[in-house]
Amino acid sequence: MKEVYEIAVVHGDGIGPEVCAATVEVVKAALGPVNPLRFTEYPAGAEHFLKTGQSFPEPTFQACRAADAILHGAGGLPGVVHPDGTEAGLDFTLRLRFELDLYANIRPIRLFEGVPSPLSGVKAGDIDFIILRENSEGLYAARGSGALLRGEVAVDTLVQTRPGIERIVRKAFELARKSSGAPRDGVRRVTCCDKANVLRSYAFFRSVFDEVAKGYPDIATEHALVDAMAMHLVLKPGHFNVIVSENMFGDILSDLAAATVGGMGMAPSAEIGETNGFFQAAHGSAPDIAGKGIANPYGTILSAALMLDWLGHKHGDEKLNRAAGRIRRVTEDCLAGGLLSADLKGSASTHKIAHAVCDRLATVP
């Protein structure tokens, strides 16, 4: 338990500032007058890069590393790229992941009441699982180091290591044990998603998964090839509990899964290492709607709830966990009550949603 938790806040690009500001309001409202969180803003992102030539200033990095947690809006603007063609505004997210070794990317996928799903015949509660994306190796190990030879041959290298796989698979089993959402058939289950039939590194991922699984006899396990998994997420999303996969596959599958529960605006994410925690919605900076006040803040708000939970557990500070629970309940109520942003076919502005959530938090014990 700490008296003050330092939260490094980075607004980033596009709709980042809007959803981030809304979320900070909500967290303050959830914690009330004795709020132990101190929010400090630091610059990073594509706009900062355009202004200063730096996408991720060293002081911002140091502050993030030293902070108790990092809260981010969204980063990146199309066309703002490095010489190799990759986006400058993503340095913030990608460097934090690798330099702070945030190996576990936890992406809860849940269909809330009131939120329309593109899948026919599913209702709130039918979809409730976690995609656990390995966040420190895999194909992303090649980021910034891919080779281009004579403008003719480009090479990126996918690396998977035993310790890297072991720790993410252990995390998957731990999440399955304590997950509140259980799959439709009442079984706690971890699904290993890979491409073991074709590629050696994924066969290795599967074999390490099988070894680690022996230590968790209380949890059911299964394998799914990534192509089949993409299909399953559409055809039987209610089957899953915790899905664990390599970094690139996790990136694709988590967006796909988000599409089934209302889209990227409803997709929170927690990126966690041994020491640091980094929280942001899984969506991008959506420059097309930036500044209009219509961005969906729920993904970032729900990410902040993950932050409070993580801080609470880490520091044995139950009031943070209680605040997280209240944010989740109020969010649920607001969505069920029809407080929907434009992406959810509603008409509530970012501000309106944030204020409604704050007002309601004041009345909920």
Active site residues per annotation: 140, 195, 227, 251, 255
Cα torsion through 96, 74, 355, 24, rounded to 10: 20
Q: How remote is the C-alpha of 21 from its chain's centroid?
A: 18
* Site track for its own copies across 40-79, x = CB under 8 A: ------------------------------------x---
The binder of its own copies chosen from 206, 326, 328, 360 (CB under 8 A)? 206
Non-local CB neighbours of 254 within 8 Å, separated by 6+ positions: 105, 107, 109, 131, 133, 267, 269, 282
- Decide: is 253 part of the binding site for its own copies (CB under 8 A): yes
> Which residue, 247 or 331, has its beta carbon nearer to ligand IPM?
247
At a CB cut-off of 8 Å and minimum separation 6, what does 156 contact? Answer: 139, 142, 146
- Compute the residue count for the chain: 365
Q: Please identify, using beta-carbon distances, which residue of 50 and 94 lies nearer to ligand IPM.
A: 94
198 makes contact with ligand IPM (CB under 6 A): yes
Token pair listed for 227: 């192509």
Query: Per rule CB under 8 A, is residue 113 in the interface with its own copies?
Result: no
- In the complex, the smallest distance separating the C-beta of residue 156 from its own copies, rounded to whole angstroms, is 5
Angstrom CA distances, 315 to 3, 63, 206, 270, stand at 11, 20, 34, 17
To ligand IPM, the closest distance from the beta carbon of 143 in angstroms equals 8
Site string for ligand IPM, 60-99 (x = CB under 6 A): ----------------x-------------x--xx-----
Binding to its own copies, residues 290-349 (CB under 8 A): none
20 binds ligand IPM (CB under 6 A): no
Q: What is the largest CA-CA distance in the chain?
A: 64
In three-state form (DSSP H/G/I as H, E/B as E, the rest C), the secondary structure along 15-70 is CHHHHHHHHHHHHHHHHHHHCCEEEEECCCCHHHHHHHCCCCCHHHHHHHHHCCEE
Concatenating the DSSP letter of every residue in 299-315 gives HHHHHHHHHHHHHHHHH
Return the amino acid letter for 46: A
Pick from 16, 73, 183, 263 the residue near its own copies by CB under 8 A. Answer: 263
Residues at the site binding its own copies, with contacts judged by CB under 8 A: 76, 81, 84-87, 90, 94, 117-121, 139-140, 142-143, 146-148, 151-163, 195-207, 226-228, 230-231, 233-235, 248-249, 251-256, 258-260, 263-264, 284
Contacts with ligand IPM by CB under 6 A lie at 76, 90, 93-94, 198, 227, 251, 282
